[in-house]
């Protein structure tokens, strides 16, 4: 199959989706792999194309909250307030749904489902024109870093999907926060950290928002099924390094003759750049820029030829958006951190 880049031709992308084809769409977090959520065979193609385990449920993308209402069995008392404040945006909400209102392939057989209204003008227009809820897992091969540009999607899936809707670089760079609202008697619980942080939710709601213990203690089983899988891993080994240990780490691996790549902020890169093979500098010192550049940096350094022996990536403080950055980085590095 030839994979088409849909630049200004939304109608063609809409038509393909209506016919049960798989089309990648841009969002503010990462690119998604779109298919009609109500068409079981279209959704099955998404799993096949990604090589995704079938017990990992998908997010249903919508263009407003009204489109979600018919699926909901029990609405959480805080749902409207959360939607009003944070949609469209990088926040996925889990609701208890009416039995059989979505195909089992979408929910992984759970009684709940995940919904999100992405904040990207092109994709909101696509959703409006299609008048269909679209599943949208990240548009990467399962296990690889999520795509933040159409080129990343093309690299992983060319020839396997009908097309890619061009929408520029994803501005946030890490996937949405997943928030469990399935039990109306319990406070909201974060199952996956993202750009809508615990602090932001608590400020809006005026109450404590819980965090899945798995995100705190690695021994716990995650409540979001997808969080248990290997993720975000380039072929080149990745290791975390605290900023204070960066120079030490670079000298250590330099002595061992490693071909080394480093991902860090511009000021950190300035300290070590003449001692390593290749660097990827985030746009500035802020954690927002680190999150935006994380996946694209991992992809870029993974494609060096000859291959690097190791990619060192600096850590950020584990709070606010830093929680999402560290969550993805720990998975990419399989928890390995440099000990000076």
Residues that bind ligand TXA (CB under 6 A): 27, 29-30, 32, 56-59, 90, 92, 94, 107, 110, 112-114, 116, 118, 136-138, 175-176, 178, 191-192, 223-227
The nearer residue to Mg ion, 138 or 150, going by C-beta atoms, is 138
Query: Does residue 176 bind Mg ion (CB under 5 A)?
Result: no
CA gap 86, 28 in Å, rounded: 13
The nearer residue to ligand TXA, 30 or 311, going by C-beta atoms, is 30
Segment contacting Mg ion by CB under 5 A, of 120-128, 130-138, 292-300, 318-326: 130-138
Q: How far is the CB of 18 from Mg ion (least distance, A)?
A: 25
Segment contacting Mg ion by CB under 5 A, of 94-102, 134-142, 176-184, 251-259: 134-142
Structural tokens at position 189: 């619980």
Q: Which residue is nearest to ligand TXA (CB)?
A: 226
Q: How far is the CB of 33 from ligand TXA (least distance, A)?
A: 8
Residue 225: contacted member of ligand TXA, Mg ion, none (CB under 5 to 8 Å, by partner type):
ligand TXA
Q: Which residue is nearest to Mg ion (CB)?
A: 138
Q: How far is the CB of 97 from ligand TXA (least distance, A)?
A: 8
Choice from 24, 92, 138, 288 touching Mg ion (CB under 5 A) = 138
The residue count of the chain comes to 340
Query: Does residue 119 bind Mg ion (CB under 5 A)?
Result: no
The nearer residue to ligand TXA, 68 or 224, going by C-beta atoms, is 224
Q: How far is the CB of 182 from ligand TXA (least distance, A)?
A: 7
The nearer residue to Mg ion, 76 or 328, going by C-beta atoms, is 328
The nearer residue to Mg ion, 295 or 338, going by C-beta atoms, is 295
CA gap 141, 52 in Å, rounded: 8
The nearer residue to Mg ion, 198 or 231, going by C-beta atoms, is 231
Q: How far is the CB of 105 from Mg ion (least distance, A)?
A: 16
Q: Which stretches of the chain bind Mg ion, using CB under 5 A? A: 138
């Amino acid at each position: 199959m030839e994979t088409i880049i849909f630049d200004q031709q939304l109608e063609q992308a809409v038509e393909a989706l209506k016919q049960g084809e798989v089309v990648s769409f841009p969002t503010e977090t990462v690119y998604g792999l779109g298919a009609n959520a109500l068409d079981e065979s279209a959704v099955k193609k998404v799993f096949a194309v990604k090589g995704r385990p079938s017990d990992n449920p998908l997010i249903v993308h919508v263009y407003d909250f009204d489109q979600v209402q018919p699926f909901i069995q029990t609405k959480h008392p805080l749902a409207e307030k959360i939607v009003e404040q944070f949609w469209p945006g990088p926040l996925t909400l889990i609701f208890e749904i009416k039995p059989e209102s979505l195909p089992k392939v979408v929910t992984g057989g759970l009684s709940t489902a995940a919904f999100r209204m992405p904040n990207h003008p092109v994709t909101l227009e696509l959703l409006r024109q299609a008048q269909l809820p679209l599943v949208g897992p990240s548009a990467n091969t399962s296990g690889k870093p999520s795509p933040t540009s159409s080129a990343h999607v093309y690299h992983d899936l060319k020839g396997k999907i009908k097309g890619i809707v061009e929408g520029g670089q994803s501005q946030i760079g890490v996937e949405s926060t997943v928030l469990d609202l399935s039990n109306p008697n319990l406070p909201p619980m974060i199952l996956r950290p993202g750009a809508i942080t615990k602090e932001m939710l608590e400020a809006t709601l005026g109450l404590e928002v819980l965090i899945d213990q798995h995100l705190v203690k690695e021994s716990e089983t995650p409540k979001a099924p997808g969080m248990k899988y290997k993720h975000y891993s380039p072929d080149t080994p990745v290791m975390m390094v605290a900023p204070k240990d960066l120079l030490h780490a670079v000298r250590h691996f330099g002595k061992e003759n490693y071909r080394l790549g480093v991902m860090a902020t511009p000021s950190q890169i300035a300290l070590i750049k003449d001692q390593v093979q290749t660097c990827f500098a985030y746009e500035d010192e802020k954690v927002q820029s680190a999150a935006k550049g994380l996946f694209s940096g991992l992809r870029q350094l993974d494609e060096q030829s000859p291959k690097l022996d190791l990619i060192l990536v600096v850590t950020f403080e584990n709070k606010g958006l830093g929680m999402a950055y560290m969550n993805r980085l720990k998975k990419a590095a399989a928890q390995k951190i440099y000990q000076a």
